[in-house]
Amino acid sequence: MLFEFSDEHGELRRTVRDFCEKESDENRVRELMSSEQGYDPKCWSRMAEELGIVGLIVSEKHGGADLGMVELAIVAEEMGRVLLCAPYLSSAVLATSALELAADEAAQNEILPKLASGEAIGTLAFSEPAHPWELSKIAMTAEADGSAFALSGEKSYVLDGSVASEILVAARAGAELALFRVAPDASGLSREALPPLDQTRRIARLRFDRTPATRISSGDISDQLNRALDRAIVALAAEQLGGAQRVLEMATEYAKTRFQFGRPIGSFQIIKHQCADMLVAVELARSAVYNAAFASEEDPESVSIAAQMAKSYCSDAYLEISNRNIQVHGGMGFTWEHGAHLYFKRAKASEVLFGSPSFHRERMAHSLGFGAR
């Protein structure tokens, strides 16, 4: 596999980078991260209308661009690079994929066009406190009353759960894993924004108390949802790659221009080697992400393992690099004013989101047949 990007891919990357650099410079990020909503609805509309990237992976018949994981990885990488504050991962990736892969046609027809056009923000509420990232351990079970259902219990760490207008919930119907749709103003639903470690991505806790829900899938959708989650994991890993690349650049720039002892600090071997180690890690992370992205097109069977590899490697790499970057910046890297901490916090939160490196390595060991006996 040689990861060949086409001219169109290059064009997409340039367009998104341009947009991100203009619309999401550090000042803007700081404004949005301390704002109530956490994103800019106007910017979101422009991403949908001018760039067409909100509906990037939505199929054409539902108003999307019908593109694949390679394009998604490019877009996510650029967003991660600038810490774009937008409900992209939640709405354009996870909720969209869940609908595309697991929902009934009627629900797809109704909801996907709204997500693709940016008119609605979607989220998939699946994490439960006991085993947040394992779909097979989802315990919330819908109470059935004829064709109507009611949900009770709690979903946590729901991405953009406070602002989403299309709330999808993964819960059981009997033994089957199913997708439900809950109206934002449904009775018994309460949404609580959680104070985030990483202020550039919002999370919420959703509580359901006999909340009316519509089942929008048929049969057991474990496989489909796992595939949707894999897509989100690959997108997250791509974001991590973009962030790590940016942090490497920050550290290198600083090491060239900061003088101590009459010379640039980058001339001290320990700093030079730290920057070189960051570069090695970024390039391995890049291979992990592109491997997972291209696998979806060329070898779908291998996507799960590729996603686990990417998520565990990119998480470790991004965290280590953003940590090192603080160190290279000395006292400056510890300040609020400098951007280094924003990347550190994003790296830490991304490491945790969708499962820790250790969690993914354990799953990978199983998939590769050397799991625990």
Ligand X SMILES: Cc1cc2nc3c(=O)[nH]c(=O)nc-3n(C[C@H](O)[C@H](O)[C@H](O)COP(=O)(O)OP(=O)(O)OC[C@H]3O[C@@H](n4cnc5c(N)ncnc54)[C@H](O)[C@@H]3O)c2cc1C
The binding site for other proteins (CB under 8 A) comprises 34, 127, 129-133, 156-157, 194-199, 203, 257-263, 265, 268, 270-271, 323, 326-327, 330-331, 333-337, 341, 344-345, 348-349, 352-353, 356, 358-359, 362, 372
DSSP letter for 158, please.
Answer: E
Closest contact distance (angstroms) between CB of 50 and other proteins is 32
Angle at 142 between CA 139 and CA 143, to 5 degrees: 130
Closest contact distance (angstroms) between CB of 271 and ligand X is 5
Closest contact distance (angstroms) between CB of 343 and ligand X is 16
Cα separation, 149 vs 141, in Å, equals 10
* Contact track, ligand X, 319-338, x by CB under 6 A: --------xx-xxx-x----
Closest contact distance (angstroms) between CB of 246 and other proteins is 18
Cα separation, 175 vs 173, in Å, equals 6
What, of other proteins, ligand X, none, does residue 263 touch, CB below 5 to 8 Å by kind? other proteins
Residue 41 vs 371, nearer CB to other proteins:
371
Please select the residue that binds ligand X; options are 112, 265, 278, 293, rule is CB under 6 A.
265
Concatenating the DSSP letter of every residue in 106-157 gives HHHHHHHHHHHTTSS-EEEE---SSSTT-GGG---BPEEETTEEEEEEEEEE
Closest contact distance (angstroms) between CB of 266 and ligand X is 9
Residue 13 vs 258, nearer CB to ligand X:
258
Residue 35 vs 327, nearer CB to ligand X:
327
Residue 42 vs 263, nearer CB to ligand X:
263
Site for ligand X in 244-263 (CB under 6 A): 258, 260-261
The candidate with the shortest Cα–Cα distance to 155, out of 126, 186, 118, is 126
Cα separation, 261 vs 272, in Å, equals 16
Q: How far is CA 109 from the centre of its chain?
A: 24
Closest contact distance (angstroms) between CB of 338 and other proteins is 9
**What is the total count of residues that contact ligand X (CB under 6 A)?**
13
Contact 240, 317 (CB under 8 A): yes
Phi, psi of 155 (to 5 degrees): -120, 135
Residue located via tokens 């989101």: 353
DSSP letter for 200, please.
Answer: T
Concatenating the DSSP letter of every residue in 220-265 gives --HHHHHHHHHHHHHHHHHHHHHHHHHHHHHHHHHHHH-EETTEEG
Cα separation, 133 vs 225, in Å, equals 12
What, of other proteins, ligand X, none, does residue 3 touch, CB below 5 to 8 Å by kind? none
Phi, psi of 354 (to 5 degrees): 65, 20
By CB under 6 A, is residue 270 in contact with ligand X? yes
DSSP letter for 197, please.
Answer: S
Closest contact distance (angstroms) between CB of 255 and ligand X is 8
Residue 19 vs 354, nearer CB to other proteins:
354
Closest contact distance (angstroms) between CB of 102 and other proteins is 23
Cα separation, 108 vs 171, in Å, equals 18
Residue 13 vs 258, nearer CB to other proteins:
258
Residue 126 vs 254, nearer CB to ligand X:
254
What, of ligand X, other proteins, none, does residue 193 touch, CB below 5 to 8 Å by kind? none
Residue located via tokens 């996507």: 303
Residue 85 vs 319, nearer CB to ligand X:
319
Interface residue list for ligand X (CB under 6 A):
258, 260-261, 265, 268, 270-271, 327-328, 330-332, 334
